[in-house]
Structure 1
Amino acid sequence: MSATIAERLAARIYEILGAVPDPEIPVISVVELGIVRAVRAGVPAVVVITPTYSGCPATVAINKAVRAALDDAGLRDVVVKTELSPAWTTDWISDSGRAKLLAYGIAPPETTAERRARRDAAPAICPQCGTGRTAEISQFGSTPCKALWRCLECAEPFDRFKCI
């Protein structure tokens, strides 16, 4: 079965935005981070963006980067809309995004299902040596959506996305 025009346009938009890096973590795209929440077919098509939290200082930069990528691809009629409800959740980070965060040195959060199955807070996995012997140093990391942790094995500090 062939894809409809709307489905092909949505796939093209996701491909274009899959190359737009998050301004604070350039190894992960706004699609992988789950900031691009939806592409709605219609005239005009709408890209729905939800920042990682409502006061995120990168929101303006993300909107500009998304708009520029769409414009550069000749998609000037596509509307970019910010929606705050429902709020962004770390569950929206893709598996490839989680792997890229870890490779970059940021411990990705557990999913809601993983947290519920454990029934308690799991330690962060150290992105340097892979141990779970870690401790939170501060609830405030390099950005408001991350906390600062330290590995008890290799003693390296690292950021961990807060579970939202």
Structure 2
Amino acid sequence: MISDAELVAGVGAVLASVPDPEIPAVTVVDLGISRGVRRRPDGSYAVVLTPTYTGCPATLAIEASVRSALDAAGYGQVAVVTELSPAWTTDWITDEGREKLRAYGIAPPERGAAAASLRPEVPPACPQCRSLNTQEVSRFGSTPCKSLWRCLGCAEPFDRFKCL
């Protein structure tokens, strides 16, 4: 029989391999969508997920991907639950996740930006050339949780995670 610690570690390793369906360069752990494994009052375990925002259209795809990965790894007994409270925040993106987003061409907000403001005064750095000479083009980007920006230095467009 596997210990509780081994189950939690094994499920954590599975979660760390599940890519986000909209941004496959990062995992559900990198984005902070996976809030971990919890023991429930009945003694069973559940993976807790929080989407990047309440109406995220990828929520069902994320749940299905996590369920599939858990089943394939032999963790079919672990439930997958979605919790909307507390709401996801960009502060939950890991440092590794922030670097993966930059490498993928998406500007993540700096840690702590969510607490400061929904529209910070400092523009995001271009993920291509790191210039701060950037401009928001549209409040809505390739997905509802991102806005569209362009760099006035290198002329490249890029998405930016909204500070939530």
Give the TM-score normalised by structure 1: 0.91
Question: In the alignment, is residue 161 of structure 1 matched against residue 129 of structure 2?
Answer: no
Pairing 1:137–2:137 present: yes
1:98, CA displacement in angstroms?
Answer: 0.2
How far, CA to CA, are the matches of 2:114 and 2:63 in structure 1?
Answer: 31
TM-score norm. by structure 2 comes to 0.91
Is the 8 Å Cα contact of residues 107 and 124 (structure 1) preserved in structure 2? yes
Q: Which whole-Å deviations, capped at 9, do the CAs of 1:51-78 have from their partners, x for residues lacking one?
A: 0011101000000000000000111110
Output the amino acid matched with 1:78. V
For the pair 1:91 / 2:91, whether they are aligned, the reply is: yes
SS at 2:53's partner residue?
coil
CA distance in 2, matches of 1:154, 1:50: 35
Displacement of 1:5 after TM fit? Answer: 2.3
Name the residue aligned to 1:32: 30
Q: Alpha carbon RMSD of aligned pairs, Å?
A: 1.9
Is the 2:114–2:163 Cα contact (8 Å) retained in structure 1? no
C-alpha distance in 2 between matches for 1:48 and 1:94: 17
5+ residue gaps, structure 1: none
Residues of 2 paired with 1:36 and 1:114: CA distance? Answer: 18
Deviation, 1:41, is 2.9
When residues 150 and 22 of structure 1 are mapped into structure 2, their CA distance, relative to the original with a 3 A threshold, is same
8 Å contact from structure 1 (residues 6, 41) kept in 2: no
User: 8 Å contact 1:10–1:41 — kept in the other structure?
Assistant: no
Q: Answer yes or no: is the 8 Å Cα contact 2:149–2:160 preserved in 1.
A: yes
Q: Judge conservation of contact 2:126–2:151 (CA < 8 Å) in 1.
A: yes
Change (3 A) 1:113 1:144: closer
Counterpart Cα distance in 2 of 1:12 and 1:143: 31
Q: 1:113 to 1:162 in 2, by over 3 A?
A: closer
Deviates more, 1:88-97 or 1:104-113: 104-113
- Equivalent residues, number: 160
CA contact (8 A) 1:107 1:158 kept: yes
Alpha-carbon distance in 2 for matches of 1:33, 1:154: 27
- Is the 1:115–1:122 Cα contact (8 Å) retained in structure 2? no
Asked if 2 retains the 8 angstrom alpha-carbon contact of 1:115 and 1:121, the reply is no
Letter in 2 for 1:60: L
- Measured after TM superposition, the shift of residue 114 of structure 1 is 8.4
In structure 2, runs of 5+ residues without a counterpart are none
